[in-house]
Structure 1
Amino acid sequence: MLTDALTDLAREVDARCRLTGEFTLRSGAVSQEYFDKYRFEADPLLLRRVAEAMVTLLPSETQVLGGLELGGVPIATVLSSLTGLPLGLVRKQAKTYGTCRLIEGAEVAGRRVVLVEDVISTGGAARAAAEELRRRDAQVDTVVCAIDRFDGEPHPLSEVGVQVLSVLTKRQLDAVR
């Protein structure tokens, strides 16, 4: 059951972000609705409310926030500001110039990194990021997200030892319509 504050947040995110039509998701699946996270991420007040709701989801052992390119970066930046936790910006692939880094910002080796994502459907981007960070000696077992579209058990990310903690689920957004 959602608190009054979370219900209000769900209503606002749903009204602002839910689009209907035919959309191809990152996973390749076709959906009749799409949650355009840029519509809340571009609104500083709504972005802050989403990030504030994420603060309580962070495991106490979190040492670094890993903001996933591109949609996870604005949320992770605000979350870093709210918590004082250092931020690593996780690219989809390493740059081929300059520092040639996959992760910019905070050092992740030997540290517990919590991934920050905007919308998760199948978890493909979070899975790839977790695997890459683990190859760099980071401890990754959690992703926090604004919206988890996946509706079922077990979550696909559990296959790689990553738990998903979401501010809102598609089911919760459907319930406030």
Structure 2
Amino acid sequence: MSKLLEESLKTCPIVKRGEYHYFIHPISDGVPLVEPELLRDVSTRVIKMIDTDVDKIVTAEAMGIPIVTAVSIATDIPYVIMRKREYLLEGEIPVHQETGYSKGELYLNGINKGDKVIILDDVISTGGTLVAIINALKRAGADIKDVLCIIDRGNGQNIVEEKTGYKVKTIVKIEVVDGKVNILE
């Protein structure tokens, strides 16, 4: 586990949105400030954990983008962003996603049948985003080689595995209790 990531999580602010206690962190939110040292540390750990013999890395808009960019630059693997708006490109695949605090459509472009891909995202909590990404990639005919989320918060890993059969790797597991982040693993 990353001491830098762990320490930054322990000190991040918590806000309540409805019944959801949301932790605000540079990796998951891009605020208050994304330090290059933290991004470098996280992306280096990601590279050590994933299958790099792939054609593309896939992430969802928005906070997977900085991590995917750093990993892409370090590995020379191109990436695809599932966007929250449609572009009406030929072959675009829309998919519905629901998380602990939002729901909406994601749109997949740039994946061809047979592409070997890894999925990389910032946080898994309910698993809603990952299930949507996996479903879209299956519809596109992609070969999913690895799924990794930086921060595991909740039961999302189990939900994704039950709904899709894919195991989700994570760097750190947390819980939010009494207004603070506790590191579990």
Q: TM-score range by the shorter chain?
A: 0.7 to 0.9
1:113-150 per-position Cα deviation (integer Å, ceiling 9, x unaligned): 11111111111111111111111111225321111102
Cα distance per residue 1:152-177 (max 9 Å; x no partner): 8x710002122111111115x6148x
Aligned residues of 2:173 and 2:183 also touching (Cα < 8 A):
no
User: Letter of the aligned partner of 1:116 in structure 2?
Assistant: L
Q: Distance in 1 between matches of 2:33 and 2:54?
A: 23
Could you tell me whether the CA contact under 8 Å between 1:92 and 1:129 is conserved in 2?
Answer: no
Post-superposition Cα deviations, 1:77-119, rounded to whole Å, max 9, x if no partner, equal 11111112121122245324x66843455x4420221111111
What is the match of residue 82 of structure 2? 90
5+ residue gaps, structure 2: 93-106, 176-180
- Richer in helix (by share): 1
Query: What is the CA deviation profile of residues 3-35 of structure 1, one whole-angstrom value per residue up to 9, with x for unaligned ones?
Result: xxx2233112432xx3223125xxxxx233424
Q: Distance in 2 between matches of 1:75 and 1:48?
A: 9
Q: Cα distance, 1:63 vs. partner?
A: 2.9
Identity %: 24
Alpha carbons of 1:81 and 1:40: their partners in 2 closer, same or farther (altered >3 Å)? farther
**2:28 matches 1:20:** no
Deviating more after overlay: 67-76 vs 37-46: 37-46
Moved over 6 A (4+): none
Q: What SS does the corresponding residue of 2:136 show, helix, strand or coil?
A: helix
Normalised by the size of structure 2, how large is the TM-score? 0.73
Q: Is it true that 1:34 corresponds to 2:23 in the alignment?
A: yes
Q: Between Structure 1 and Structure 2, which shows a larger proportion of strand residues?
A: 2
In structure 1, give the amino acid aligned to 2:70. Answer: V
Unaligned runs of 5+ in 1: 25-29
- Other-structure match for 1:59: 51
Question: Who is 2:70 aligned against?
Answer: 78
